[in-house]
Structure 1
Amino acid sequence: MNAEPSIQSKLLDLAAVDAELTRIEHRRKVLPEEQEVQRLEAERTTRKDAAVKVEIIIDDLDRDIRKLEGEIEAVRKREERDRGLLTAGSVNAKQLSELQHELGSLERRRTVLEDELIDVMERREAASANHDHAGANLDQAEQDLVDAERRRDDALADLKVAQQRCESDRAALSGGFPADLIAAYEKQRAGFGVGAALLQARRCGACRIELDRGEISRITQTAADVVVRCPECNAILVRTKQSGL
């Protein structure tokens, strides 16, 4: 395959554009802003789970409070009934003794229940504070995520602009090559990642391997318009004054 040296040298411009497209695609895959979004999504999930756990605790404590308040109210009503019977004076001595004993038991039971209620209410107050704290943490995580998503979207938009610019440059460049040369370049690029590279100081710019003297001698004796390939990676080697031939 033959091509004018000036045409071959333009392959380096095309290869530079393709290298930039490769870097853009790689950056898109490992975008730090995207990784930060994923980290913050996980953080938001963790904080949301923490808030839900506190809500469940609060619901359980509220249920316990309602139960204790109901039991205390039932004991108070029983006390009021017994006191009413005592006040009415309509009971005999045996019933009087039983009522007095029952009132003592009810008072002790009410005291126990009230102490339990105070303990549960204190735990409810602490859980409420934890819930407020968890809610604030969740709000902060969601705001951080919104900010990170905006930065990620901005970075992706910048990459898209850069990619479109490179694709435009590539379209303008690729149309200036002979069909067989651009086909060979594209095939090599598809298989190896680099279609053409500068032969510089006897080293292939694609695979970075230094060519031996025999290969350099062969290339030196090859006409300038003949397209040569790297014997190691098969990339098209573009010869210039920097090639050391």
Structure 2
Amino acid sequence: MCRWPAGVSPAGGTGRGSGSLQAYAERNGECVVRLREYGHLILAIALSLVAGANVYGYLADLRLTGPVVVASVPIEAGTVITAAMVSTTHVHPDAIHPAAFRERRAVMGKVALLSMVPGEQVLVVKTSADPAHQGLVARVPYELRAFYVPARGFRGLAAVLSPGQRVDVVHVSTNLRLGAVLAATLVRGAMVLDVRDERGGRYTGGRDSSPGGLILLVTPAEAEKLALALETGTLFVSLAPPTPGRP
């Protein structure tokens, strides 16, 4: 076992004796080396304890969870949210959106303003308590309009048309003064909001129902053109590819 002799200071100073740390090290080199090894060991143990404490704190933090309401099934915009559509799950507090609902009962009966996918947190800003937001109107942006086109001009396409697809609208009129039939494309790439049957319900393509009309998403100016065109001729639609930049 290494001991510092009387008169030798570990800091290198001298006491009552005449020996210094340097002089002692020269005479007892092996003891000094052993003391340095002990110092390295103590430092390694201290670092291990610090690392262990950090890991324990991290694992303890992971066990912290909080409730949040998420969609259990796909929820379309305009849908009244029911108990079967949402569930409560527990996640780390850092993963909970500040605007998310924390209790299911707070979501019941509200109208979804935006579509949600399963597992998505239900946010307050994505719902409304106003019944006026139910149904088709919830899918109409503020600057656009939903316009109804009678089925006469798209009966052949009724079986393949569905919400989200794009169509062009062509107006065909008969100019009685010139005795000629005129045609012009009034709207390009309008989005189909819905296909209705002759009773006003959603058209499903069954034998018991016939297509009644098409609801398109258009601008107010386009709605005016289409309304005038309906009074002066017939509107026809053609299936169009995706239209970049158009809502």
Which structure is larger by alpha-carbon Rg, 1 or 2? 1
Common fold, TM-score beyond 0.5?
A: no
Q: Quick check: which one's helix share is greater? A: 1
TM-score (norm 2): 0.23
TM-score (norm 1): 0.23
Q: Quick check: which one's strand share is greater? A: 2
